[in-house]
Structures are given as C-alpha cells and as structure tokens.
C-alpha cells in the first residue's frame, strides 16, 4: 500500500532499536575526551634505589608512573602520602606497566638501607615501586626544574602532590593528595594513559 507515492513500511516499527542506536551514537560522541595536558618532560636521571643498586630512569621507559617527593623521618604528610601511594599500587595491580617512584628530599639521612625499611613498612612492591636517593643537587634539579614542585633547601618542606608521567616520560597530571577526592581523578588519568599506545 502506498501513501503519498511512498511505500508504507511493511513490518512493525521498532522504537526500542531506534532508541538504542541513538544512545549508542550519543555515548560514542561523549566518550571523545580531550587528551590529558602535557606539563613538561622528565629528563634522564641516575640515582640509587632502596636495594642499593644504581637506578637509571631508562628503566621507566614504556611505563606509566606516579612520582612523589618525601622523606622517611617526616611526621607530617609523608606517611599519609606513602599510604595513599600504596593504595594506588593495589588499585593498579591488574594494569601492566604501572610503576611508582618516591624521591627523598633528605638524602643525607635516607640511605638505601633506610629507604628499604621504609618501603617494607608500607608494603611497597620492589618490582614496581622505587624509593630513590642520590646527590642533593640532582634531587634538587628533579624537584625544582623537572617536576616543578619546589626546592630542596634543608627546610624539609615539600609538595604533597602526586605527579603522573606517561610512557614517553611526559608529565601529564598533578594531583593534590590533601583533597578528599584525590584517588578518582588520579586513577582515571592512569587508566587513560595505560590505554594510550
């Protein structure tokens, strides 16, 4: 049967199928997020890890990693930050190639032996989480010039932010650990970078 010169539909109209197709199109459009910003690049560094061995930043190549600056005798935010990093370590257990790096701001005290005991206290996985020490000038360059978090000047004040780094060594995010909802945005950033080729 024709209506106005057009063939009438011969089967029943399926509104559910049409609605599903529309929702699929809309969700595809909403899922196109802007890429995470790039704040800089981590230059090559060579320090010493908690096992006393030389650590070259090339070991982090091709991996997503989270960095922070701390010191083991800190009675303020450092234990909280390290506990938070441990939580991220647990949350990312199923994501391959996600690492963690904690740089000391007190290299005179934080020897590899001291860092190893601290790492064990917080159940750090030594295959994924590195506690690094080295010459104060090298750590200063990393803290101030590379990560842009401040100075290592003997005052033992430091940033409480986590820094997210992508597989190519680019800094892609800063996350304040003193905020109530710190974990969700950091985990979202890690998952996004983990999917990037």
Q: Is residue 185 part of a domain?
A: yes
- Ordered DSSP codes for 50-110: TTSSEEEGGGGTT-EEEEEEE-TT-SSSHHHHHHHHHHHHHHTTTSTTEEEEEEES-TTT-
Q: Is residue 102 part of a domain?
A: yes
pTM of the complete model: 0.82
Q: Is residue 11 part of a domain?
A: no
Q: Is residue 32 part of a domain?
A: no
Q: Is residue 126 part of a domain?
A: yes
Q: Structurally, how many domains does the chain consist of?
A: 1
Please give the residue range of the domain that contains residue 73. Answer: 40-195
Q: Is residue 103 part of a domain?
A: yes
Supply the CATH number for residue 53's domain.
Answer: 3.40.30.10
Residue-by-residue pLDDT tens, the chain, 197 positions: 444 544 544 444 455 554 555 455 444 445 567 899 999 999 999 999 999 999 999 999 999 999 999 999 998 899 999 999 999 999 999 999 999 999 999 999 999 999 999 999 999 999 999 999 999 999 999 999 999 999 988 778 789 999 999 999 999 999 999 998 999 999 999 999 999 86
Q: Is residue 12 part of a domain?
A: no
Two tokens at 45?
A: 């560094």
Q: Is residue 20 part of a domain?
A: no
């Amino acid at each position: 049967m024709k209506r106005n010169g057009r063939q009438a539909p011969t089967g029943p109209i399926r509104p559910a199928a049409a609605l599903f197709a529309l929702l699929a199109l809309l969700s595809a459009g909403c899922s196109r997020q802007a890429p995470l910003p790039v704040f800089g690049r981590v230059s090559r560094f060579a320090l010493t890890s908690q096992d006393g061995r030389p650590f070259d930043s090339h070991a982090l190549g091709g991996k997503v990693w989270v960095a922070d600056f701390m010191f083991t005798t800190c009675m303020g935010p450092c234990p909280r930050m390290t506990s938070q990093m441990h939580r991220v370590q647990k949350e990312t257990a199923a994501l391959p190639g996600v690492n963690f790096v904690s740089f000391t701001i007190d290299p005179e005290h934080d020897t590899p032996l001291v860092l190893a005991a601290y790492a064990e206290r917080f159940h750090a996985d030594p295959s994924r989480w590195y506690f690094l020490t080295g010459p104060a000038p090298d750590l200063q360059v990393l803290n101030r010039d590379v990560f842009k978090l401040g100075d290592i000047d003997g005052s033992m004040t430091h940033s409480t932010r986590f820094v997210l780094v992508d597989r190519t060594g680019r800094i892609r995010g800063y996350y304040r650990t003193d905020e109530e909802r710190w974990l969700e945005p950091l985990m979202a950033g890690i998952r996004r970078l983990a999917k990037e080729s």
